Amino acid sequence: MKGFRSITCLVVLFTLMLSFGCEKKDGVLFYESNRKGTADAPVKVVPKDILATQQAFTSLVKQVTPSVVNISTITKKKLVQPLFQFSPFFHDFSDGNQPRYRRDASLGSGFIINRDGYILTNDHVVRDAETIKVKLSNDTVYTGKVVGSDPKTDIAVIKIDSKEPLPVAVLGDSSKLQVGQWAIAIGNPFGLDRTVTVGVVSATGRSNMGIEAYEDFIQTDASINPGNSGGPLLNIYGEVIGINSAIVATGQGIGFAIPINMAKHVVEQLISKGSVSRGWLGVSIQPVTDDIAASFGLKKAAGALVNEVVTGSPAAKAGIKQGDIIVAVDGIEIKEVSQLQRLVGDLSVGKRVEVKVFRDGKDVKLPLVIGKAESAASKQEKPEEPQPATWLGMSVTELPREMRTKGLSGVIVSEVDPEGVAAEAGLQQGDIIVSINRKNVGNLAEYSMIVAESERKGSVVLLVRRGNASIYFVLNTR
């Protein structure tokens, strides 16, 4: 009986506890904003500019996303045969003498640029593709074919045949970009269909990244990940300002896009003839450092120093000389080597332009006809060594007779002190010193005489022949 009473008391106590707890609650499962429910929003007044920005992004995405496509490819790659492929044990791997192949699948992005079904993407997205499948925003899938590609800029054009009207992207003007502007990237990162990321233009004119031959990247912190490649980078008007192309794997928020203005010139040629022809001057150039600028009498380190002119090239016919500093082409000021390369590459073959060079302390204007890019490298033998004359931590000797018979002149560096001025400047054993302070060195006697004159100056400029290249070096003589 006592046990029964104890149990009854416990049940009553538990019931009272439940009742007490229920009285503390309001019986609501969750709270819904009074914009359509029963509770106030945490923030009652949102600034109008924030609402307008949000509306701008949503409207932009709604308008542009239909022109963005997903690209999937199958690439056929040859497998490397095992070392012991002729052993019966490895017969299954080698399959006799027949090569084995592997098929790799990859994903990328692109965007439709006209009603005929032409699509702009990256070259690396479709390079060596055996099959290309293009999926539109309405989930329709088409077979794509490569119209043309340009590995030097990482740009490719593919085409689909569609009977239905196609939505197209509108191309903007990347030359008007300013750092800090909004940037919106749309693509297919990691296979996640039509992902939108927002950031700003972090920088423009990024070059010397070692990604492509012709570089003028837009840097952005709008997230770009594998699969975004080939997708559009947009401004707030929904205009395409770049093609998402590369990321810094070790950095957060560092992505690169190819400026759309660079792409326009390439696309025209790819669609019309399937390849790209680039302009050519026929010079070998190097950057103008502060030391070189001071030695040549240039006010600031800018332009591109000509260290070699190809015989018979447009530059040679125009009168450009070794030692000239190219400071402007076609009215555009040259700030660095990579800019000159891009500018000349974009010029039409046969176009007449004016090249301004800095020579002997003054500007010289030369008319030039742009040629077609081509390789004009010539092979030369490496020099041998005889008796040295030492200066600035390097020893030089006369050129061997067989080298002189090939038209070479100067003296050859036979030895370089690792801790000397010459080594610090970058000279190497085997270099041929062609001129000092723009005075030609014909032999060891002339070299010694010019060296004696140069000792009184604070620095000297050496023109050096190394293999097939000519390079200028500035050495401090004090």
Which listed residue (123, 150, 154, 216) is catalytic? 154
Q: b vs e for 422-432, b when ≥16 Cβ sit within 10 Å of the residue's Cβ?
A: bbebebeebbb
**Which residues have a Cβ under 8 Å from the Cβ of 420 and sit 6 or more positions away?**
392, 393, 394
Catalytic: 124?
Answer: yes
The label of the residue with tokens 């992902």 reads: 195
Residue 308 CA to residue 285 CA, distance in Å, equals 7
> Between 260-273 and 337-346, two packed helices, what is the crossing angle to 10 degrees?
40
Q: Where do runs of H (alpha helix) occur along 191-331?
A: 260-273, 290-296, 314-318
Other beta carbons less than 10 A from residue 212's beta carbon: 22
Residue 134, phi then psi, degrees to nearest 5: -115, 120
User: Would residue 401 be called left, alpha or beta, if left means φ above 0 and alpha means ψ between -120 and 50 degrees?
Assistant: alpha
229 is annotated as an active-site residue = yes
Candidates 202, 229, 414, 435; catalytic one: 229
> At residue 384, what is the residue type?
E
3-state secondary structure (DSSP) of residue 392:
coil
Structure tokens at 352: 């007449």
DSSP state of 39: B
Length of the chain: 478
Other C-beta atoms within 10 Å of 97: how many?
8
Distances (CA, A) of 339 to 328, 330, 374, 382: 11, 13, 19, 32
Catalytic entry in 67, 109, 124, 324: 124
Q: What angle is formed at CA 92 by the lines to CA 87 and CA 96, rounded to 5 degrees? A: 65
* Cross-strand bridge partners of residue 198: 184
Q: Strand, helix or coil at 148?
A: strand
Task: Say which residues have a Cβ less than 8 Å from residue 167's Cβ, sequence separation at least 6.
Answer: 66, 67, 112, 137
SS3 state of residue 62: helix
Look up residue 222 and give its DSSP letter: S
Q: SS3 letters for 121-182? A: ECHHHHCCEEEEEEECCCCCEEECEEEEEECCCCEEEEECCCCCCCCCCCECCHHHCCCCCE
Instruction: Mark whether 116 is an active-site residue.
Output: no
Question: Which residues, 6+ apart, have CB-to-CB distance to 102 below 8 Å?
Answer: 76, 77, 78, 79
**How is residue 66 annotated by DSSP?**
G
Measure CA 319 to chain center. 32
- The set of catalytic residues is 124, 154, 229
